[in-house]
Chains A and B, each alone.
Chain A
Amino acid sequence: MTSNVLETIRQALRSGPINSTESHPLEAERARLFFAEADRKKLIDLFAQRARSSGASVHVVGELNKLSETIGTIISDGERLAVDRPDVISERLGSGFLNQLKESYRTVVARQLDREEIFKINVAITPVDFAIAETGSIIISAGSDRSRMSSLTSDKHIALIWADQIVPDLMDLPAQFKRVFADNVPPGFTIISGPSKTADIEMNLVIGVHGPGELHLIVLLKGIAGNPPK
């Protein structure tokens, strides 16, 4: 079967009007809109503006207690909070922050939930692999130490982004992919660029369809970061 279709394609290319070329024409930099920015504030502002225009909420936070305060405005009484990659979070923010979460909210570790329990969480709090300013996006990947589902089944997704994780342009995707994953391609990853939405009913915008209706992007400024991201 393989050889049939591939062979048919090869035949088509040999016999048809196309002339084959080898060299890849795309010089990636010619598709770049945003360049590396010495002024980190400008980059964060671009990220925030782009993310907000697609419906996300963006909070730029410089102090640890402000972070807890911000989270407090997002999570409502009684909501179940699933924390993803607590190791990464506590490595950067300290175990005190995690403990505080556990004390303030009904907290579970996302990856420890089974296939039914994962549907019962209300809020997910996750770090990200990196973020892209051009589109206000965050990238989250699959792995045995992290949960893909928690940021999908929850009503609210809180993403913790270290300012250093934000790159300017979609054309930075390949380099970031390499930096974060090297040769270990994850089984999957998602670029999240806003809350779940649809306009399928007569072009009326409805937020919150199957994924979280609220996406909170918390950008943590340098001063708050512990160790720099891997």
Chain B
Amino acid sequence: MTRHTGFYQKTAEASAKRDLASKLYVATYRQSDGRQAICPELGDVEHFRQLSADLRDHVLKNLDTYLDRLVANLERAGTKIHWARTAEEAREIVRRVAADNAVKRIVKSKSMITEEIDLNPVLEADGIEVTETDLGEYIVQLAGQKPGHIVTPAVHCSTQDVVEIFQKKIGYNGPADPTKLTKAARVILRDKFRNADMGISGVNFAVADPGLIAICTNEGNGRYVTTRPRIYLAVMGIERIVPDLEAAALMLKMLARFSTGQRITQYTTFTAGPSRDGEGPEQVHLVLVDNGRSGILAGKYWRILRCIRCGSCLNACPVFRHIGGHCFPGCYSGPIGSILLPQLLGLDKSFDLPKASSLCGLCGDVCPVKVPIPDILLDLRHDSARSGYGGPVEKIGMTVMAKAMRRPWMYRFGQRAMRWFLKPMSKNGWIRYLPGPPGGWTSVKDLPVPAPRSFLRQWQANNSDGQTTK
């Protein structure tokens, strides 16, 4: 039927893993139930979503102005600004800052963009120890895996999984108790904070006026990473900016409520620049990363850039709940991944992603900034169809169907032919096997047989003049 990119195979395998599903259920239901419980305290939630969408659109439409302003203000505070057109340029910038400062140990606060640019391996290849300090990221790093969710990276790990990882990698010999496991990680990571040369984080949002970069965390690692090492380096997608503190306040109202069902994260840390007073970083660097974003901005899908990476769409999605994040060919997963990755990787390499949706529409309903995800999924499917990625058979089938739908005689004939053709494959009113493309259905479900006479045929028989009276 459709030519699969390899993504399909991974989803088939993942959805068969019941233990993965039960772990995903716990995390996604907890977070989406939390969102549903807390958002009503905003009162008119739709009003807040619209305010937020309008704000993000305004920023995107004036992105150059606000980036200019941000850069000027941050530079005045002593922050060093770097621009990176590509992931490779971004990696090189970070490597250079590390090399210039003889950095040997880095502590990282959770950052999706550093996953996107694949930063850790190049630093490690330079002989630098890089430690992820967000507990979920730390677990995933020890396990040698990629994050499984954009907000809760260890979503695919049960407590027992964590025990096994900790036993193997840090010599843990305590019980399967989340508190004890966390304390074990705390001891090790506290040492890492103490001795790190450089802290790296992402940016939840930058504030153009008065010139601040903000990160939202719960554990305290974000505060360490931005304060303790003598160098703090933040990596930021160019679209993650707001004009001023008013706008920042609105984003703070929305982010945690939609993300995890908290009112706000325990810590929101703002940095303007280095401290020259013995506490706090001596150097602050901000790496502004394009990596395809300006291309998105120039195209019809520019609204994707409204995204604030809250994970709400992942938590609402019935598909994500069964397949998790590791199926996706990039660090962004779930509904946002399905529309963002094709922009970053090219639709020709990822056309299956927008198809992995039942179009239930929940993602579009829950997004705090109203990214029109279902609409974009449909448009990407259209782009894919027009480029022929569905293959010739699918296109012919759709074209024949369209012809039939314009010609009642052909439509009825098709119905009859289908009924006739399926008869030998049916038993007791159910079809157990379909050949060819529709065989996907019968590989896992039965199909009810078509009725012996269609409604319109019955109607015609009962009303032989073709019109209705009583």
Q: Give the docked Cα–Cα distance between A16 and B300 (Å).
A: 8
Q: Give the docked Cα–Cα distance between A18 and B27 (Å).
A: 37
In-complex Cβ contact of A13 among B63, B252, B260, B290 (8 A): B63
- Residue of chain A at shortest CB distance from B185: A209
Contact A24 to B249, CB < 8 A, known contacts A142-B279, A188-B280, A190-B269: no
Q: Are the CB atoms of B270 and A15 closer together than 8 Å?
A: no
CB distance from B87 to the nearest CB of A (A): 13
Chain B window 235-255, contacts with chain A (Cβ cutoff 8 Å), 1 for yes, 0 for no: 000100001111111101100
What A residues does B193 contact at CB under 8 A?
210
What A residues does B43 contact at CB under 8 A?
33
Query: Which of B46-54, B341-349, B435-443 lies at the binding interface?
Result: B46-54
Q: Are the CB atoms of A20 and B61 closer together than 8 Å?
A: yes
Interface membership of B58, Cβ < 8 A: yes
Q: Are the CB atoms of A30 and B158 closer together than 8 Å?
A: no
Q: Are the CB atoms of A24 and B58 closer together than 8 Å?
A: yes
What B residues does A203 contact at CB under 8 A?
26-27, 30, 152
Interface membership of B430, Cβ < 8 A: no
Query: Which of A101-109, A147-155, A219-227 lies at the binding interface?
Result: A147-155
Q: Give the docked Cα–Cα distance between A26 and B211 (Å).
A: 19
Interface membership of B223, Cβ < 8 A: yes
CB distance from B264 to the nearest CB of A (A): 4
Interface membership of A36, Cβ < 8 A: no
CB distance from B90 to the nearest CB of A (A): 11
CB distance from A120 to the nearest CB of B (A): 11
Contact A193 to B272, CB < 8 A, known contacts A18-B302, A25-B54: no
In-complex Cβ contact of B220 among A11, A15, A152, A186 (8 A): A152
- Residue of chain B at shortest CB distance from A209: B219
Contact A193 to B253, CB < 8 A, known contacts A12-B298, A148-B227, A206-B182: no
CB distance from A78 to the nearest CB of B (A): 20
Q: Are the CB atoms of B302 and A148 closer together than 8 Å?
A: no
Interface membership of A200, Cβ < 8 A: yes
CB distance from A66 to the nearest CB of B (A): 28
What B residues does A100 contact at CB under 8 A?
none
CB distance from A48 to the nearest CB of B (A): 14
What A residues does B84 contact at CB under 8 A?
1, 5
Q: Are the CB atoms of B299 and A17 closer together than 8 Å?
A: yes
- Residue of chain B at shortest CB distance from A178: B245
Q: Are the CB atoms of A143 and B277 closer together than 8 Å?
A: yes
Q: Are the CB atoms of A5 and B272 closer together than 8 Å?
A: no
Query: Which of B130-138, B384-392, B457-465 lies at the binding interface?
Result: B130-138
What A residues does B224 contact at CB under 8 A?
152, 210
Query: Which of A57-65, A91-99, A167-175 lies at the binding interface?
Result: A167-175
Q: Are the CB atoms of B269 and A198 closer together than 8 Å?
A: no
- Residue of chain B at shortest CB distance from A200: B136
CB distance from B369 to the nearest CB of A (A): 13
Q: Are the CB atoms of A185 and B77 closer together than 8 Å?
A: yes
Q: Are the CB atoms of B157 and A54 closer together than 8 Å?
A: no
Q: Considering the complex, which residues of chain B in the window 7-63 have a beta carbon less than 8 Å from any beta carbon of chain A?
A: 23, 26-27, 30, 41-43, 47-48, 51, 54-55, 58, 60-63
Chain A interfacial residues counted at CB < 8 A = 75
Q: Considering the complex, which residues of chain B in the window 164-223 have a beta carbon less than 8 Å from any beta carbon of chain A?
A: 178-179, 181-182, 185-186, 189-190, 193-194, 210-212, 218-221, 223
Contact A193 to B58, CB < 8 A, known contacts A173-B249, A201-B182, A210-B224: no
In-complex Cβ contact of B246 among A26, A191, A192 (8 A): A26
What B residues does A73 contact at CB under 8 A?
none
In-complex Cβ contact of B268 among A152, A191, A197 (8 A): A191
Chain A window 160-180, contacts with chain B (Cβ cutoff 8 Å), 1 for yes, 0 for no: 000000000011011001000
Q: Are the CB atoms of B250 and A202 closer together than 8 Å?
A: no
Q: Give the docked Cα–Cα distance between A144 and B224 (Å).
A: 18
CB distance from A183 to the nearest CB of B (A): 8
Q: Are the CB atoms of B249 and A119 closer together than 8 Å?
A: no
CB distance from B246 to the nearest CB of A (A): 4
Q: Are the CB atoms of B83 and A1 closer together than 8 Å?
A: yes
Q: Give the docked Cα–Cα distance between A59 and B465 (Å).
A: 84
Q: Are the CB atoms of B23 and A202 closer together than 8 Å?
A: yes
Q: Are the CB atoms of B302 and A198 closer together than 8 Å?
A: no
Q: Are the CB atoms of B226 and A173 closer together than 8 Å?
A: no
What B residues does A199 contact at CB under 8 A?
30, 152, 260
Q: Are the CB atoms of B218 and A11 closer together than 8 Å?
A: no
CB distance from B323 to the nearest CB of A (A): 19
What B residues does A90 contact at CB under 8 A?
none
Q: Are the CB atoms of B83 and A198 closer together than 8 Å?
A: no
What B residues does A149 contact at CB under 8 A?
227-228, 279
Q: List 5 A-B contacts (CB under 8 A).
A: A28-B249, A174-B244, A188-B271, A190-B223, A202-B178
10 closest A-B pairs by beta carbon, nearest first, are A211-B220, A210-B220, A12-B298, A144-B277, A200-B136, A16-B298, A174-B245, A204-B178, A209-B219, A201-B178
